[in-house]
């Protein structure tokens, strides 16, 4: 019977998805790493030009350039995590060296009469996220991970989770993913590793299960590691009109590269417990590609004041995900049990629409002495949507997004002071939480400092920036096992840029 259903599943591919609100937010944050000058002023460039990363905030900024220019940027990141689990703190740090940015703007002045003073074209690569992160927690809890597997199993017939004589563990695991659901796979892992057992083992139609882990106290630890980065390639066009107005547009292509490994381990010596040690590991690999556009304008209100406005469209992503899983259990009386299906779950490609963003900006220019700039942005995270062309239903995830997320504002303030060939810069920023409950993810805030020296055709810039944010990290979001850790993240970055007039 299962072989017949497997043949049908090749046509229907009724795989349940594992995407959740964390995936939606991870790819909706578009934090331009940018040049050292850009970072030293906390990215407050919506009414300015003269820096290639300013094109990513307002595409009209390229028309502010006086000369054709190019820039190249590298950055060294350090993330420091304080992870707290049931009162016990563990600290982890991660260091990375990244190629942040490369780009160029080409300026074509109009020597003929007419309202258009110049036309500019630009192209740039910008890293939008560094996905490297890690933490480790350990502590004691009265909640066992057995509830994760037990809840998924209740209601499923025993026959569905039992490896038959003509089947293998890998074959049944694959069958459940193709024909039943991701939840059924989790139930099978728990059943095959003896974490749970049937209440009526002689009845193949039985749908009730119990845990082989006795209640009590559990020693637990959780390892979390992620790698990868997100970025985008932008193509820009802009113009200056009547010496006072600047208009521009970008078309951008985006890419995602994200890998995550987690391992949860639990040990107990509780009276009556058949399973005394559980290790549950998961690997996720995500790739994606998307497209977006930007429109923007800058106006010279006076010699001293400039204002800007820009709109960044949603990014429309196509995303692919793969997962692998492994469970190892130990019984003090019966030994070790390993369930390693060696199956890669390849999920149907899905679409993700991230929220658009509107930005308003104002800048005060003090001649050659310096400037002060402020940006305000708004993004409605509740508008994020999952969808699929593969008959996968995302109504539950989309309703969760609408109910839990909100519109969020970001404020950025930056300044620059010049003395001869030297420039001295500073800035600060504050991003509201996208969650209605900011205990899940708190506001992100930070500051920046930097300097630069102009050699004439070449300018060298250096910046330091710092940010911090708190979050609650659920080990298995949306499951019956609700245990989580509190993570306090601190990021430090040093950026170096080389700018060249061409």
Confidence (pLDDT) at 392: 81
Beta-strand runs (E) in 268-369: 277-300, 305-312, 316-331, 335-339, 345-346, 350-353, 357-365
Angle at 391 between CA 230 and CA 347, to 5 degrees: 45
Average pLDDT, the chain: 93
What is the pLDDT confidence band of residue 18, given thresholds at 50, 70 and 90?
low
Token code pair at residue 280: 């549950």
122-178 residue pLDDT tens = 999 999 999 999 999 999 999 999 999 999 999 999 999 999 988 999 999 999 998
Q: Answer yes or no: is pLDDT of 15 > 80.
A: no
214-263 residue pLDDT tens = 999 999 999 999 999 999 999 999 999 999 999 999 999 999 999 999 99
Q: What share of the chain is helix, strand, coil (3-state, %, to 5)?
A: 15, 55, 30
Confidence (pLDDT) at 14: 37
Which whole-number Å values give the CA distances from 434 to 88, 404, 406, 439, 488, in the listed order? 28, 9, 5, 11, 17
């Amino acid at each position: 019977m299962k072989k017949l259903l497997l043949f049908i599943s090749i046509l229907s591919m009724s795989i349940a998805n594992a995407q959740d609100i964390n995936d939606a937010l991870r790819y909706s944050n578009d934090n331009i790493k940018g040049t050292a000058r850009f970072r030293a002023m906390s990215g407050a460039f919506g009414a300015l030009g003269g820096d290639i990363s300013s094109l990513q905030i307002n595409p009209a900024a390229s028309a502010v350039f006086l000369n054709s220019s190019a820039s190249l940027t590298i950055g060294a990141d350090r993330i420091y995590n304080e992870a707290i689990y049931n009162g016990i703190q563990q600290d982890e740090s991660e260091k990375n060296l990244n190629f942040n940015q490369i780009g160029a703007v080409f300026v074509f002045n109009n020597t003929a009469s007419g309202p258009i003073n110049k036309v500019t074209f630009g192209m740039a690569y910008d890293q939008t996220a560094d996905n490297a992160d890690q933490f480790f927690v350990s502590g004691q809890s009265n909640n066992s991970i057995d509830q994760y597997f037990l809840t998924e199993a209740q209601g499923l017939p025993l026959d569905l989770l039992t490896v038959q004589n003509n089947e293998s563990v890998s074959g049944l695991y694959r069958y459940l993913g193709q024909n039943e659901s991701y939840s059924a796979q989790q139930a099978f892992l728990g059943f095959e590793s003896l974490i749970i057992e049937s209440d009526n083992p002689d009845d193949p139609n039985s749908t009730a299960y119990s845990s082989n882990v006795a209640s009590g106290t559990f020693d637990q630890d959780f390892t979390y590691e992620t790698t990868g980065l997100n970025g985008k390639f932008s193509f820009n066009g802009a113009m200056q009109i009547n010496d006072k107005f600047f208009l521009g547009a970008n078309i951008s292509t985006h890419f995602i590269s994200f890998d995550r490994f987690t391992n949860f381990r639990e040990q107990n010596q509780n009276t009556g417990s058949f399973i005394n040690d559980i290790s549950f590991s998961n690997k996720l690999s995500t790739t994606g590609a998307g497209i977006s556009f930007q429109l923007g304008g800058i106006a010279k209100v006076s010699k001293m004041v400039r204002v800007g406005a820009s709109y960044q469209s949603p990014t429309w992503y196509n995303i692919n995900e793969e997962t692998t899983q492994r469970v190892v259990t130990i019984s003090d009386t019966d030994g070790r049990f390993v369930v390693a299906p060696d199956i890669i779950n390849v999920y149907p490609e899905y679409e993700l629409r991230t929220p658009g963003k509107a930005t308003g900006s104002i800048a005060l220019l003090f001649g050659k002495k310096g400037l002060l700039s402020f940006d305000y942005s708004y993004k409605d995270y509740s508008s994020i949507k999952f969808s699929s062309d593969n008959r996968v239903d995302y109504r539950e995830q989309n309703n969760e997004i609408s109910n839990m997320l909100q519109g969020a504002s970001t404020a950025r303030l930056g300044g620059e002071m010049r003395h001869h060939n030297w420039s001295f810069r500073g800035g600060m920023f504050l991003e509201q939480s996208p969650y209605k409950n900011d205990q899940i993810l708190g506001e992100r805030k930070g500051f920046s400092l930097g300097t630069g020296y102009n050699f004439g055709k070449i300018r060298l810039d250096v910046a330091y920036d710092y940010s911090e944010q708190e979050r609650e990290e659920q080990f298995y979001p949306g499951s019956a096992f609700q245990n989580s850790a509190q993570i306090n993240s601190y990021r430090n970055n040093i950026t170096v840029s080389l700018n060249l007039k061409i």
